[in-house]
Structure 1
Amino acid sequence: MKRVASISVAVALTGISATAHAQNSVTLYGIVDAGISYLKTSSGNRYSLLSGGLSGNRWGLKGSEDLGGGLKAIFQLESGFSIGTGKLLQGGREFGRQSFVGLSGERWGSVVMGRMYDPVVDLVQPLTADGTGGSVPFATPGDVDNNDFSARVSNAVKYSSPNYSGLQFEALYAFGGVAGSTGQGYTASGAVSYSQGPLKLAAGYFQAANANAASGKRTGWTSATTDALFEGGSINTAYQSAHMLAIAQVAGQYQIGAFTLGAGYSNARYTSDGESTFAATQKFNTGRVYGFYRVSPGLRLGVGYILTSASGDASARYNQVSAGSFYTLSKATDVYATAAFQRASGTQRTASGGTQAAVATISSYGVDGTSTQAIVSVGLRHRF
């Protein structure tokens, strides 16, 4: 689920050839995060060990080789796992969070190939409450707009520009790999960000195409590039057979002394075609505001509000309030307490094609409540 900047231990390796000096570096890094949570579910209250209450558990390797003239070869391999069971996440992939290799230049930017985050996640998501607070409970109900970056992109090529006096941009394209049909299973995305003093702004667009059905109707999301964005419970489960998923998102943030204030908007569209099991395009419009206050160097408090309005195929509204307290014990370790409450109203489409009263589902935890849901978590996170 979460991706936050990690504090890592680097091992520098230096090789000398007869003609040139090449400096190599390899970094081992990771995050381990576990807590105890209370969650209101559709079948009653649940108390459990929570794996990744703030940040998805992971370990990884990243490195570079200096090729001279400001050019570097770069790579990153990152594996996600459950702290409670030790199982691999991201569908059991060994390096399911990220796995890419590429080239980076000081003046022209970088190009990487493999499995990675899309540009909206890279540039826009850090300005949301989920990105700023590093806290899953602040993410969109059901993660319908990939605000908690549940989906990653495989078979992709991504270009990232240098920083031009605060301005940066990225573009990505992932190949569907279907012979004779470039319109199946592809993903395309682009984003731009601007930072000047206390002000940060970003906007981006993401579009992913599903694969065609072998015959008749699709049975789900089978794109070879973008992961299925349906981990967040029943809010968007009925739209796994969509022909196209498109997400536009903007966010802004302003720093005022010890306060960090932000706002954002996203529009997610699940578009149908003749092979979909639903007829009308389903739209999720989400507005969000948040504020964080640094009480002391070690203590930070945050609160956020999100409204998601669904329309098109089914009409529903999801109101969510989130709060958190984060205390740093050291440069690598912090403790936290978070809470969120969500209320749902209106009607949802079900996976079987029927309708039901809308149910609350906080973030990407993937567990439905009733018309309301609450979660309270306390935990410990360590970075290495």
Structure 2
Amino acid sequence: MNRITLSAISLAVTSMLSFSAHAQSSVTLYGIVDTGLAYVHNSDGHSSQWKMSSGNLSQSEWGLKGSEDLGGGLSAVFQLENGFDIGTGIAQQNSRLFGRQAFVGLASTQFGTLTFGRQYDPLSDLVQPITADQFSGFFASPGDVDNYDSSARFNNTAKWTSPSWGGVTLEAMYGFGGVAGATGSGQTWSVGAAYAQGPFSVAAGYLHIDNGNAQATTRGTTSADTLFNSPVNSAYASARAINIARIGGQYVIGPVTVGAAYSFTDYVADAASSFGTNEKYHNGSVFALWQVTSAFSAIAGYNYTKANGDSSAKYHQVNVGGDYLLSKRTDVYVMAGYQHASGSNGDGPAQAVIGSFDIPSGANSQIMAIVGMRHRF
């Protein structure tokens, strides 16, 4: 009887421990608050502007993320992330509650992660982190015409991310357009690959955005957020599709990280477009980041963008910045950028627009400088 009783107790305890292990879960509240004082020379036709600027090194955000262990190397995962302007408290991403990310899915140590919801594309996930955009949207292409700084996120998507296989990571995403009777209208799809080994990292990817079948719905009805946020590419909002190919790489040499990236972006015209020839953007960038001390880092970069096809604009941009850690979670920074534009942007003379800040200059040059503070929790 004692043996039977002990066996029963042992079985019950084992079952409870097994259930407890399988039911392990966690939820994390996190966020970033980033704001600064900005000076802009040439802003919307005026020679100078002083303003508060939110999200300069990192977008101000708060979020919830969590996982539940389902056993056998499988977990349920979710993430909800809100972006906001610290100066006004207004939600960003078109006033969405969880405009930055909102997804749920399954993560397997063997087969990778499959998630569903509003998400970043593979280029943002794999290529962006090894470019100067890791520091600030200052370094993005003018008006973020190639989604360098993730101006567009994607709704109604399914995304698969592989485990790391010998330093190689693969990713694929599909976004449903949701237009009845026109399956491809408004769809988005993207693929990417990255390789990291020691001090060297390289990544590349391709993104296709269908901007809406004009016969089935209005142009601009798509699973993607808009990329038409500045005079750089606003003339091409009626494009049938946007295709973006990007590659980037970086190398760490002691305290210095150097990197380069290139993108080709094609705004495709059709009979429903207000322009007749495809607009193409070639963007090349280089940067050097120096970790001067454990607390202080400095960065410099150059970005060149050339448009051809429907227009002939050229943009030269130089940026510098510095960041100092007051603690593990709080830092102060200074950033400055200068851009010169020439040629035509499709609506008229090209206007300078520094990075992804999308401030129209009303002129062929623009200077922007920001002093700010960031806190992470």
TM bracket, shorter-chain basis: over 0.9
Partner of 1:97: 100
| 2:19 aligned residue | 20
Aligned to 1:9: none
| Aligned AA (1:113) | F
Number of the residue aligned with 2:372: 379
**8 A contact 1:222–1:228 mirrored in 2:** no
* Of 330, 335, 358, the match for 2:332: 335
Aligned residue type for 2:184: G
- Cα distance in 2, alignment partners of residues 102 and 280 from structure 1: 41
Aligned counterpart in structure 2 of residue 74 of structure 1, from 64, 77, 85: 77
Q: In structure 2, how many angstroms separate the alpha carbons of the residues matched to 1:346 and 1:298?
A: 42
The aligned residue for residue 220 of structure 2 is 221
Give the Cα separation in 1 of the matches to 2:280 and 2:352: 17
Once the two structures are superposed, the pairs formed by residues 300-311 of structure 1 within 5 Å of their partners are 300-311=297-308
In the alignment, the residues of structure 1 paired with residue 265 and residue 67 of structure 2 have an alpha-carbon distance, to the nearest angstrom, of: 36
How far apart are residue 222 of structure 1 and its match? 2.2
| Aligned equivalent of 1:254, options 236, 247, 251 | 251
Q: Which residue of 2 aligns with 1:4?
A: none
Correspondent of 1:116 among 112, 116, 119: 119
Residue in 2 aligned with 1:368? Answer: 360
Give the secondary structure class of the aligned counterpart of 2:106: strand
Are 2:343 and 2:350, in contact at CA under 8 Å, matched by a contact in 1?
Answer: yes
Contact 1:326–1:335 at 8 Å: present in 2 too? yes
Deviation digits for residues 108-165 of structure 1 (CA, Å, limit 9, x no counterpart): 101000000001100001111112x2x1211111100000101000000000000011
Q: Does 2:149 align with 1:148?
A: yes
Give the CA deviation at 1:368: 1.3
Distance in 2 of aligned mates of 1:17 and 1:273: 63
Q: Distance in 2 between matches of 1:80 and 1:55?
A: 10
Query: Alignment identity in percent?
Result: 48
Q: Structure 1 residue 177 and structure 2 residue 181: aligned?
A: no
Between stretches 207-216 and 235-244, larger displacement belongs to 207-216
SS of corresponding position for 2:344 = strand
Match of 1:276 among 264, 273, 277: 273
Secondary structure in 1 matching 2:115: strand
Q: 1:332 & 1:215 partners in 2: Cα distance?
A: 49
Answer whether contact 2:278 2:309 (CA < 8 A) is retained: yes
Match of 2:293 among 287, 291, 296: 296
1:130 matches 2:133 = yes
Bigger Rg, which one:
2
Corresponding residue to 1:53 among 35, 52, 56? 56
Alignment of 1:156-171 (within 5 A): 156-171=157-172
AA partner of residue 80 (structure 1): G
Match of 1:86 among 78, 82, 89: 89
Deviation at 1:180, TM superposition (A): 2.1
Asked if 1 retains the 8 angstrom alpha-carbon contact of 2:127 and 2:203, the reply is yes
Whole-angstrom CA distance in 2 between matches of 1:280 and 1:130: 30
Check whether the contact 1:245–1:269 (CA below 8 A) recurs between aligned residues: yes
* C-alpha distance in 1 between matches for 2:220 and 2:299: 35
- Counterpart of 2:11 in structure 1 is none
When normalised by structure 2's length, the TM-score is 0.93
> 1:247: how far off?
0.4
Structure 2 Cα separation of the partners of residues 148 and 52 of structure 1: 12
Deviation per residue, 1:180-209 (Å, 9 max, x gap)? 212200000010000011100000000010
TM-score, length-scaled by structure 1 = 0.91
Could you report, residue by residue, the CA deviation over 1:281-316 in whole angstroms, capped at 9, with x for unpaired residues?
000000111001111000000000010000000101
Cα pair 2:320 2:337 within 8 Å, conserved: yes
In 1: Cα distance, 2:320 partner to 2:304 partner: 15
2:185–2:212: 8 Å Cα contact kept in structure 1?
A: yes
Secondary structure at the aligned position of 2:123 is classed as helix
| Structure 1 residue ranges (4+ consecutive) displaced by more than 4 angstroms after TM superposition | 16-19
Give the residue type in structure 1 aligned to 2:126.
L
1:313-338 deviations in whole A, cap 9, x for unaligned? 01010000000000011110110000
Q: Confirm or deny: 8 A CA contact 1:212 1:275 kept in the other structure.
A: no
Matched, 1:107 2:110: yes
* Paired letter, 1:382: H
Question: Match for residue 6 of structure 2?
Answer: none
Distance 1:85 1:210 in 2: 31
Gaps of 5+ in 1: 1-15, 351-355
Report the 3-state secondary structure (helix = DSSP H, G, I; strand = E; otherwise coil) of the residue aligned with 1:202. strand
Query: 1:76 is paired with a residue of what secondary structure?
Result: strand
Whole-Å separation in 1 of the counterparts to 2:137 and 2:93: 17
